[in-house]
């Protein structure tokens, strides 16, 4: 595993200054050469899977551009909900069906789908597949690393991501709220703009604003039963505790994420249980406990329902849109996540190893992650850029995002990867999703629930 080299090493301003100037466009014509083949003309049909409501607008635009450049190719964009996509992929691939040629993936998919994903590494260094205009030095390396396993590149990023703390500034600057909070908790109401909240301060603020002091709910957090929603929010709370205890648990790396250290699950450790207890308390102060999802949570905050929200970066790029939000001008992103460390991730495009139209699939992969097309994930789907040049484009051409991107980049500076590549990561997510409702309701204690999750995982591995 390559050492993680992140955009997080430098501020957004420095990143823009160090930007590599990227020549626009891609080669007008692609021919494809395998090591032992003659030129292959790109033609036929390519089936590309988009996550519904996530990256589909960009991929539809990119597909139109691709077909305009290559009239002999038909690109079908197939929408698949994020939560059901991995099951759809497995069903098709295990039946040896080539119904998907290019798929949208996240790092957590790799453990299960690795046998079906093409090793892109040999093609990256071949100009017939990835020309110089594709410019690998413009890619954010930490995102690339999340799809590199033992020297094998299994995907090309289309977006990066980071979990953020959203808040309503007017609630925290209100003099009455400040006085009442001081009286109730014995310390000043912390401003997320200037204070890195501790996890306990986050809990206190959520409880303070839960149905009181101008807010319907204290916080919005994902807590539904869809795959990965719970584990993402829980993982973000564990991230700071994990990073602060690296001396005990070992360094956080892209291979193990915040869950594993030396092959051992951390969920029933002291910090794992501390993070789970915090998650239980936050869900208790949230809107729609056990129901708020990746798809619905941002809309709740945008309606003005809560003082706080823990969520990924995309809502930051539409929260000031009056057609989608009632909190225009009264929301912000905290420069630092509670506890001082957050989680990062990404999404990527990968190629089915046994695609019946591999040349066209690789052509689309290269085209869809090129500098000229890469901006559409940001402009059409509000996804965090995966290329330095797109960061520069976003901050210079879309001035309203400059400050937001600066706050997001500060979070990226203090982030760790949350996902584990190991094949049983989906099981960890499933066990957390199954056990959490009982911990939330008090049917079992946090200690009992986290021990059960750990026991279930080790039992499944042993069998």
Segment 62-93, tens digit of pLDDT = 999 999 999 999 999 999 998 889 899 999 99
Write down the pLDDT at residue 75. Answer: 98
- Strands 217-220 and 306-311, bridge-based pairing: parallel
Confidence of residue 316 (pLDDT cuts 50, 70, 90): very high
Write down the pLDDT at residue 397. Answer: 67
In the chain, how many H helices and how many E strands?
20, 16
The answer to which of 200-204, 291-295, 398-402 has the lowest mean pLDDT is 398-402
The answer to which of 68-72, 246-250, 258-262 has the lowest mean pLDDT is 258-262
Q: CA angle, 34 as apex, 32 and 37 as ends, to 5°?
A: 95
The answer to which of 19-33, 181-195, 234-248, 332-346 has the lowest mean pLDDT is 19-33
Are the CB atoms for 158 and 377 separated by under 8 Å?
Answer: yes
Confidence of residue 297 (pLDDT cuts 50, 70, 90): very high
Q: Considering Cα of 456, then 294, then 215, then 211, what sign does the dihedral take?
A: negative
Residues 220 and 285: their CA atoms lie apart, in Å, by 8
Residue 37 has pLDDT above 50, yes or no: no
Residues 277 and 75: their CA atoms lie apart, in Å, by 47
Q: What is the pTM of this model?
A: 0.82
């Amino acid at each position: 595993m390559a050492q993680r080299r992140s955009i997080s090493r430098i501020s957004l301003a420095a990143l823009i200054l160090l930007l590599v100037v990227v020549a626009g466009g891609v080669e007008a014509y692609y021919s494809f050469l395998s090591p032992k083949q003659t030129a292959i003309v790109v033609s036929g049909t390519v089936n590309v899977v988009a996550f519904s409501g996530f990256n589909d607008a960009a991929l539809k635009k990119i597909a139109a551009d691709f077909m305009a450049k290559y009239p002999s190719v038909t690109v079908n964009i197939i929408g698949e909900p994020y939560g059901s996509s991995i099951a759809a992929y497995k069903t098709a691939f295990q039946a040896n069906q080539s119904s998907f040629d290019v798929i949208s993936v996240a790092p957590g998919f790799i453990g299960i789908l690795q046998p079906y994903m093409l090793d892109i590494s040999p093609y990256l260094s071949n100009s017939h597949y990835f020309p110089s205009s594709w410019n690998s030095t413009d890619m954010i390396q930490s995102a690339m690393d999340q799809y590199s396993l033992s020297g094998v590149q299994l995907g090309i990023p289309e977006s990066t991501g980071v979990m953020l703390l959203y808040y309503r500034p007017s609630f925290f600057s209100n003099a009455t709220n400040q006085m009442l909070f001081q009286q109730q908790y014995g310390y000043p109401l912390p401003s997320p703009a200037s204070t890195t909240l501790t996890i306990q301060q986050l809990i206190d603020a959520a409880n303070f604003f839960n149905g009181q002091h101008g807010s319907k709910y204290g916080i919005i957090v994902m807590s539904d039963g869809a795959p990965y929603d719970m584990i993402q929010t829980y993982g973000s709370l564990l991230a700071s505790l994990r990073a602060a205890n690296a001396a005990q648990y070992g360094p956080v790396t892209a291979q193990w994420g915040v869950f594993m250290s030396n092959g051992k699950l951390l969920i029933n450790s002291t910090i794992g249980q501390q993070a789970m207890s915090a998650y239980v308390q936050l869900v208790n102060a949230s809107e729609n406990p056990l129901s708020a999802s990746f798809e619905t949570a941002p809309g709740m905050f945008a309606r003005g329902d809560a003082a706080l929200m823990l969520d990924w970066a995309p809502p930051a790029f539409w929260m000031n849109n009056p057609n989608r939000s009632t909190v225009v001008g009264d929301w912000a992103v905290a420069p630092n996540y509670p506890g001082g460390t957050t989680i990062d991730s990404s999404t990527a495009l990968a190629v089915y190893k046994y695609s019946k139209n591999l040349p066209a699939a690789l052509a689309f992969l290269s085209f869809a992650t090129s500098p000229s097309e890469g901006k559409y994930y940001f402009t059409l789907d509000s996804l965090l850029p995966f290329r330095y040049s797109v960061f520069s484009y976003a901050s210079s051409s879309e001035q309203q995002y400059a400050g937001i991107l600066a706050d997001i980049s500060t979070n990226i500076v203090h982030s760790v990867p949350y996902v584990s590549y190991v094949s049983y990561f989906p099981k960890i997510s499933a066990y957390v999703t199954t056990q959490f409702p009982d911990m939330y309701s008090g049917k079992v204690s946090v200690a009992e629930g986290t021990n059960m999750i750990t026991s279930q995982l080790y039992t499944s591995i042993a069998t």
